Structure formats: structure tokens, C-alpha cells
């Protein structure tokens, strides 16, 4: 079974979310003997994907139509699986597809050194397409600074491509040109789309002369948020078509709306069945006012798919009621969680009783319900302290609400947390609350449980379908939420029972089960 899979983020830089799920699922699929080619728009450089081949969309040559007057010799290009093309000759002169090359060249490279080792394992191919896009709402305000910084931590590794270029003797004479274009690339990253033109005159590699094109281009995906997102999904689809052509596969599997055009394009190219995996819908992110273009893209993907995977019954119900998809076409496959021992306490406790909210400060996550419940809890237990960990467009509103209720002396805002800072927050928390308005799955409660913290989740979450040993309330029921928090704080026996049982329960919420389900699905759909 060979699967061509399209995602947006492979290494999980942000706790939870799409990247985490994609990593967990594919790793288990590989262990189950499935051959996966995983495509991401942009790689961060720290992907660890044993047994997988990753391909970068930024390095995939795309046929470019040119005016016939500019006929040049047919290009030959290296496109061997496992080999990454990395010729860059950026022309940052706008969006036009008719970028004129100054010279024709091909630089074929062996895989980047740090990918070489894990890549050596056979069963999984990962197509590198640098990515840091997530399917989530773009934080519109400048306050989410940490979020932006997090992206900047994963710039495209220009130096490394240069180094690799030197390794290849043929490319040495194009050194200065590459350097110049690399600089351009860096300047333009995340600002405007840039076309990389890759043409070839070298003949010793695999010839692609069956292609009726005269020029190739590669897209450096900016990996940035903002207005270019729509354009990037379209480009990703172009790349997908080319990848589908060069990588044999039996089934196409795509994750969330930005990959749907890519999935449809790949399907049109190869005619293989398409599985659309929904980790989050526009209704979760935006409530009753979905972004029309995003909604349209989601519906198109769902309708064009041969089968749909929803991460929860909650999400399935949304797909049925809001997108008009037949329930028979949708399978529910709950996410798993990768077992992890959390690091020991590092931070200092702000108080004797600490209740934590950890997640993006957006409408979807319901942070304001947390604040309102805190107000009620403090009337009963005035020495309770509340941590709000995360950033997002509701940050100003949450801060103002806390100040308005005069709770600032009991509230702590950590901003966006990276790395072991999440563990630090867990180490001082007595209770985790996820009051999401609409949560397709929600992996953070499982991570809290791993860290030995009892959890309260909203009934409007997928994770509540798999957790028996968590307190569940309606997100809008402030009284019930406050009451639940108070009971956990008041009754140590309740807290310790929840802690113990949920930690035991989570041992069965692994990725092996969903991977098995999805493998079965692959076989059914390709039969």
C-alpha cells in the first residue's frame, strides 16, 4: 500500500494541532507497513521522520508555459525519488509565470546531510515542501508576537542549500548567482511570492523529455500567514500535480482545507482515490460566520473526496449538517497521543491552587468562559490562581475582561509557550480546563493527563468522546464550569482519582488504533 499524503506542517512546533496529528498517524502507519510519501509545503529542518521520505514542494519542478518564440532545448531534470532538487535562481519580480531565465542550469543534489540518515529507511517517502502554515485562523492583531517569532524560527535553510550546492562540483560555477538569489529569497520570504526557475541542460540524469514544456519552476513556499494563503493553496495544488506524476501511489490522503486543492489536483492527475481528513472545520474556527472562500474550498474537497475521515463524532455531525456530506461517506477516527513522560517541576508555583487554560486565545477555544468561571470560583476560593497560556486575537479582550472583573491579582498571562515552557506550566498546575466552543478533537487535555493533571473539557469537543475520566461541561454553562473547578479544588480525593484513572486510560489512546482503522480504509477504498 503506497500512500501519497499532503499536509501543512509535519514537525509539531506548536503543541497540539495538525502537525502533531500528522506525525502520530504517519509514524504508526509506517510501523504498520504502509508506504507513505508525505508532502509538506515547507520544512523546518528538524523533521525527524524515520522510515519516511519527505519532499519539499518548494523543490518540485513545475512545468511553465512559455511563449513559443522563446524555444529552448528540452530540459532534463533530476527527479529521482529520494533526491532533492535544490537549484535556486530567484526572480523576485512579481507573480508572473513567464519569468525569463538568465541561464539554464540544473543542480542536482543528494539529500541534505541531516535528512540522509532517517531517510535511508525504506518504507516511507517524505516529500519536502517547507511548511509552517496551520489551518487555524490567522491572528489578526500584532499582539500575537510570539506566534510570528515561532515561524521565523523555521526559515528555509539557505546556507545549507548553498553548502549542498558546493558538494556538487557541477554547481560550483553558479555559486555567486545562487548566493545572490538566496539573498533575494531571504528578503522576500513571507512577503511576496517568488518564482524559482529551474531549467536544465545537463543530460546525464533522467530525461523528462516526454514533457511538452520548456521550462521548470519551483515555488518557494513562504510558509507565512496572511493574504497569500489562498494563493499558496493554489500553488500547492500545482506542485501536487507534479508530485502525483512522479511518485507511484495507490491512494491520496490529505489533511485539512489548505491541502484539499492539492488532493483534488493529485487525484485528477493519477486517478487514485482521495481521502480527505478533517482535523478542523471553518465552523469550529469562526463560529457561524465562516470565511466564504475557505468554506468553499472545504466543501469542494469534501465533495470531491472518495471518503472522509473526521477526528470525532462532533466533527462528523458538523460535516453532515453544515456541509451536507452524507454520513455514510464519513468515518470517525479519533486521534491518539504519543506517550511521553513529562519533565519534572521547574517553575515556581504562583499559588497553592492553580487552574490553567492552555491554548490559542481565539473564539474557538472559549477563553472568556474561563475568565467568567474564574470570577465565580474566586468568590468561593479566593486564593485560587489562574494561568492563561497562549496568544491570539482575543488576547486584548481576555486581558481587559480580567481587569474589568478586577481579577488581575489572581491571573497570569504567559503568552505563547514553546518547548519545555509548556511542561513548566504543567508542573505548577492543579487542574486544566479546556472550555472550547467547538473542538474537533483537542489533544491538549491528553497532554495534561500525561503530565498528571486532572482535566475539565467542554462537551463540544472530540476528546470528550474518548475520555471517560474527565469532567465534562457545556462550554456556555459558566455555573457548571465554576462548580466543576470548585469540586476538584475542594475534594482532593476527586482530584487524585481523576488523575490516576485518566493517566491509566490514556495508555489506550495511542496512534496504533487510528492507524489500523485508516489502513483498513485504504484497503477498502482501493479494492
Binding site for another protein (CB under 8 A): 142-143, 145, 347-348, 350, 387, 395-396, 399-400, 402-404, 406-409, 411-415, 421, 424
* Identity of the residue, 320 or 399, whose beta carbon is nearer to another protein in the bound complex: 399
Smallest gap from residue 155 Cβ to another protein (A): 22
As measured in angstroms, the least distance from the Cβ of 458 to another protein is 25
CA 296 to chain centre: 20
The CA-CA-CA angle for residues 81, 85, 87, to 5°, reads 170
CB 263 within 8 A of CB 301: yes
Q: Please, what is the minimum distance in Å from the beta carbon of residue 12 to another protein? A: 22
Distance, CA of 407 to CA of 217 (rounded, Å): 56
Q: CB–CB of 156/112 below 8 Å? A: no
Name which of 95, 136, 140, 127 is nearest 232 in CA terms.
95
- Residue closer to another protein by CB (options 141, 490) is 141
> At closest approach, how far in Å is the CB of 151 from another protein?
17
* Distance of alpha carbon 74 from alpha carbon 76, whole angstroms: 7
**In the complex, least distance from residue 399 CB atom to another protein, rounded to whole angstroms:** 5
Strand 53-56 to 35-40 pairing? parallel
Torsion, Cα 93 99 105 111, to 10 degrees, reads: 70
**What are the phi and psi torsion angles at 278 (to 5°)?**
-105, 115
DSSP 63-78: E----GGG--PPP---
C-beta closer to another protein: residue 81 or 408: 408
Q: Pick between residue 283 and residue 416 the one whose CB is nearest to another protein.
A: 416
What grid cell was written down for 398? 481576555
Q: How far is the CB of 479 from another protein (least distance, A)?
A: 24
Residue closer to another protein, measured from CB, 145 or 296: 145
Query: Least distance (Å) from another protein to the CB of residue 371?
Result: 12
Residue with Cβ nearer another protein (114 or 381)? 381
3-state SS, one letter per residue, for 19-51:
HHHHHHHHHHHHHCCCEEEEEECECCCCCCCCC
Which lies closer to another protein via its Cβ, residue 175 or residue 404? 404
Amino acid at each position: 500500500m503506497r500512500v501519497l499524503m499532503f499536509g501543512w506542517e509535519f514537525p509539531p512546533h506548536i503543541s497540539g494541532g495538525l502537525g502533531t496529528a500528522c506525525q502520530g498517524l504517519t509514524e504508526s502507519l509506517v510501523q504498520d507497513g504502509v508506504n507513505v510519501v508525505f508532502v509538506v509545503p515547507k520544512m523546518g529542518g528538524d523533521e525527524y521522520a524515520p522510515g519516511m521520505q519527505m519532499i519539499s514542494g518548494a523543490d518540485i519542478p513545475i512545468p511553465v508555459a512559455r511563449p513559443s518564440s522563446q524555444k529552448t532545448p528540452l530540459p532534463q531534470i533530476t527527479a529521482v525519488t529520494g533526491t532533492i532538487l535544490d537549484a535556486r535562481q530567484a526572480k523576485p519580480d512579481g507573480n508572473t509565470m513567464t519569468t525569463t531565465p538568465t541561464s539554464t542550469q540544473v543542480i542536482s543534489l543528494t539529500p541534505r546531510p541531516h535528512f540522509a540518515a532517517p531517510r535511508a529507511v525504506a518504507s516511507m517517502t517524505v516529500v519536502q515542501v517547507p511548511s509552517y502554515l496551520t489551518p487555524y485562523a490567522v491572528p489578526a492583531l500584532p499582539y500575537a508576537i510570539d506566534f510570528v517569532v515561532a515561524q521565523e524560527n523555521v526559515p528555509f535553510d539557505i546556507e545549507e542549500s548553498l553548502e549542498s550546492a558546493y558538494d556538487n562540483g557541477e554547481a560550483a560555477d553558479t555559486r555567486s548567482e545562487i548566493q545572490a538569489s538566496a539573498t533575494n529569497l531571504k528578503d522576500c520570504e513571507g512577503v511576496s511570492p517568488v518564482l524559482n526557475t529551474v531549467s536544465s541542460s545537463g543530460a546525464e540524469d533522467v530525461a523528462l523529455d516526454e514533457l511538452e514544456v520548456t521550462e521548470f519552476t519551483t515555488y518557494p513556499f513562504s510558509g507565512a500567514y496572511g493574504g497569500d494563503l489562498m494563493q499558496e493553496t493554489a500553488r500547492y495544488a500545482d506542485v501536487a500535480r507534479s508530485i502525483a506524476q512522479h511518485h507511484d501511489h495507490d491512494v491520496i490522503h490529505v489533511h485539512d482545507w489548505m491541502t484539499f486543492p492539492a488532493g483534488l489536483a493529485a487525484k485528477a492527475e493519477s486517478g487514485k482515490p482521495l481521502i480527505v481528513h478533517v482535523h478542523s472545520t471553518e465552523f469550529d474556527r469562526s463560529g457561524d460566520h465562516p470565511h466564504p472562500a475557505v468554506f468553499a474550498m472545504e466543501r469542494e474537497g469534501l465533495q470531491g473526496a472518495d471518503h472522509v475521515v473526521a477526528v470525532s463524532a462532533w466533527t462528523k455531525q458538523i460535516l453532515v449538517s453544515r456541509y451536507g456530506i452524507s454520513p455514510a461517506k464519513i468515518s470517525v477516527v479519533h486521534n491518539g497521543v504519543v506517550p511521553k513522560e513529562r519533565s519534572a517541576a521547574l517553575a515556581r508555583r504562583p499559588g497553592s491552587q492553580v487552574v490553567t487554560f492552555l491554548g490559542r486565545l481565539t473564539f474557538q477555544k472559549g477563553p472568556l468562559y474561563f475568565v467568567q468561571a474564574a470570577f465565580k470560583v474566586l468568590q468561593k476560593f479566593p486564593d485560587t490562581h489562574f494561568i492563561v497560556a497562549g496568544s491570539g486575537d482575543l488576547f486584548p479582550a481576555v486581558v481587559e475582561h480580567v481587569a474589568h472583573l478586577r481579577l488581575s491579582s489572581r491571573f497570569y498571562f504567559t503568552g505563547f509557550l514553546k518547548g519545555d515552557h509548556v511542561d513548566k506550566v504543567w508542573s505548577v498546575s492543579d487542574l486544566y480546563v479546556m472550555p472550547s466552543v467547538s473542538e474537533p478533537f483537542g489533544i491538549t487535555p491528553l497532554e495534561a493527563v500525561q503530565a498528571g493533571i486532572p482535566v475539565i473539557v467542554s462537551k463540544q469537543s472530540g476528546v470528550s468522546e474518548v475520555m471517560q475520566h474527565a469532567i465534562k461541561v457545556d462550554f456556555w454553562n459558566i455555573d457548571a464550569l465554576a462548580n466543576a473547578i470548585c469540586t476538584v479544588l475542594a475534594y482532593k480525593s476527586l482530584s487524585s482519582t481523576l488523575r490516576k484513572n485518566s493517566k491509566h486510560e490514556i495508555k489506550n489512546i495511542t496512534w496504533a488504533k487510528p492507524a489500523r482503522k485508516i489502513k483498513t480504509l485504504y484497503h477498502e477504498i482501493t479494492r
